[in-house]
């Protein structure tokens, strides 16, 4: 077990692949804190306290998860349906927080996380209590919204026993700290500098991240309504899937013994090629080749066909099916971060 490799993975691709959803939650809670301080003309508290609260709670949650996965194995692993639902809820929450920052309607004030009343009575005299509670709660909740790289680490923890499973998840989560701390701290610092104008900017950034989260969950669920499908329906084609027909590119693969063989390279940045053509009524074999890949792309899904394939970090896995009708079939990772299209002709 190479813990240094796990740490390096978290420091690089792991942090960035988790940033869209989990980073959006961190940004939203800090921006809400800035907005409350501004509205109530409160004195400024520590910039690092909410960030550290989020990160430490996240670390504790993931160490506990690693221990439980190593102890009980696959029995407590989250299903795709639960992960997709939590990602969708996170996106909706981020947008609601952003609308509160923009003062769209008073109803959005109810989305701001506050300590329960009994806790407020106990900590009323501690000025930093709210700086700790909401970020810590969201940090714990990130365990229900794992990114693709985290799923690979969870799979490793399942086969490693409780102690090593906890160490694996702890080392990986620690390695993501620099990126998340930088994001949270810069959000707080910019809030100090620009205050009111910054909150509007932060709101639009959080809306963008929320839309990405919702669209990713819809893609992963196989929804017919996504940004990609809307782009396909435009009179002027807009490519939102990261792939479209390209000149001089072999889109159809090869036919061997009556089977269409299509090769897709799976990397930390997605799939290549992202647009392929296959023939209706003829068996298809997708060869998915990875090489030191730990991103969401390794959790390969074809929602409309019910295909679920978790790929090895290095190696080749195959998926076989027979398309029965013409049209476009989306393939995606479990979070909808990376996607491509199979056109059935």
Asked whether 330 and 219 are in contact (CB, 8 A), the reply is: yes
Give the structural domain span for 247.
228-344
Span 217-271, pLDDT tens digits: 999 898 888 888 887 776 554 445 455 554 444 466 788 888 999 999 999 889 9
Span 296-326, pLDDT tens digits: 888 899 999 999 998 988 999 999 999 999 9
pLDDT band at 132, cuts 50/70/90?
Answer: confident
pLDDT score at 129: 54
Closest listed residue to residue 26, CA positions, set 176, 151, 195: 176
State mean pLDDT over 65-77: 81
Query: Starting at the edge strand that comes first in sequence, how are the strands of the sheet with 275-278 ordered?
Result: 275-278, 339-344, 327-333, 299-302, 307-310
Tell me the pLDDT of the chain averaged across its residues: 80
Which CATH number characterizes residue 313's domain? 2.60.40.420
To the question of pTM greater than 0.85 for the whole model, the response is no
165 and 232 both lie in a single domain:
no
Domain boundary among the residues 158, 189, 221 is at: 221
35 and 133 both lie in a single domain:
yes
CA atoms of 147 and 296, how far apart (whole Å): 6
In eight-state DSSP terms, residue 46 is -
Check pLDDT > 60 for residue 104: yes
Is the backbone of residue 149 left (phi > 0), alpha (psi -120 to 50) or beta? alpha
Check pLDDT > 80 for residue 200: no
327 and 279 both lie in a single domain:
yes
CA atoms of 154 and 69, how far apart (whole Å): 7
138 and 183 both lie in a single domain:
yes
58 and 117 both lie in a single domain:
yes
30 and 88 both lie in a single domain:
yes
44 and 68 both lie in a single domain:
yes
72 and 207 both lie in a single domain:
yes
Please state, as a whole number, how many other Cβ atoms lie within 10 Å of the Cβ of residue 333: 27
pLDDT band at 125, cuts 50/70/90?
Answer: very low
Domain boundary among the residues 161, 190, 221 is at: 221
pLDDT score at 123: 42
233 and 173 both lie in a single domain:
no
71 and 193 both lie in a single domain:
yes
Span 3-14, pLDDT tens digits: 888 898 888 877
pLDDT band at 46, cuts 50/70/90?
Answer: low
Specify which residues 285 forms β-bridges with: 261, 320
Q: How many residues does the chain have?
A: 345
146 and 245 both lie in a single domain:
no
Percentage of the chain modeled with pLDDT above 70: 78
Domain boundary among the residues 188, 206, 221 is at: 221
In eight-state DSSP terms, residue 22 is I
State mean pLDDT over 277-289: 94
Q: How many domains does the chain have?
A: 2
105 and 242 both lie in a single domain:
no
pLDDT band at 118, cuts 50/70/90?
Answer: low
Torsion of CA 113, 114, 117, 121, to 10 degrees: 160
Percentage of the chain modeled with pLDDT above 90: 28
pLDDT score at 74: 63
């Amino acid at each position: 077990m190479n813990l240094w490799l796990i740490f390096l993975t978290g420091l690089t691709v792991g942090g960035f692949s988790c940033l869209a959803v989990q980073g959006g939650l961190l940004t939203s809670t800090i921006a809400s804190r800035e907005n409350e301080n501004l509205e109530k003309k409160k004195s400024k508290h520590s910039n690092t306290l909410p960030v550290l609260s989020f990160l430490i709670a996240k670390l504790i949650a993931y160490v506990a998860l690693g221990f439980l996965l190593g102890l009980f194995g696959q029995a407590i692993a989250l299903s795709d349906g639960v992960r997709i639902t939590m990602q969708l809820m996170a996106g909706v929450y981020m947008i609601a927080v952003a609308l509160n920052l923009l003062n769209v309607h008073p109803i959005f004030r109810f989305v701001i996380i506050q300590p329960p009343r009994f806790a407020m009575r106990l900590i009323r005299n501690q000025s930093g209590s709210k700086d700790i509670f909401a970020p810590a709660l969201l940090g714990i909740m990130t365990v229900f919204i794992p990114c693709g790289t985290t799923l690979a680490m969870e799979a490793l923890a399942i086969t490693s026993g409780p102690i090593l499973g906890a160490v694996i998840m702890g080392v990986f989560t620690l390695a993501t700290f620099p990126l998340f701390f930088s994001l949270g701290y810069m959000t707080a610092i910019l809030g100090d500098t620009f205050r009111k104008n910054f909150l509007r900017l932060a709101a639009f950034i959080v809306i963008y991240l929320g839309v990405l989260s919702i669209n990713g969950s819809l893609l992963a669920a196989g929804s017919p309504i996504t940004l990609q499908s809307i782009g396909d329906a435009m009179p002027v084609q807009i490519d939102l899937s990261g792939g479209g027909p390209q000149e001089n590119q072999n889109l159809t693969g090869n036919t061997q013994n009556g089977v269409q063989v299509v090769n897709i390279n799976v990397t930390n940045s997605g799939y290549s090629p992202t647009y392929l053509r296959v023939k209706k009524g003829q068996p298809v074999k997708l060869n998915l080749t990875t090489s030191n890949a730990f991103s969401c792309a390794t959790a390969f899904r074809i929602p409309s066909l019910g295909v679920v394939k978790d790929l090895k970090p290095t190696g080749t896995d195959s998926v076989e099916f027979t398309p029965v009708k013409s049209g476009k079939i989306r393939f995606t990772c479990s979070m909808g971060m990376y996607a491509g299209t199979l056109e059935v002709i």
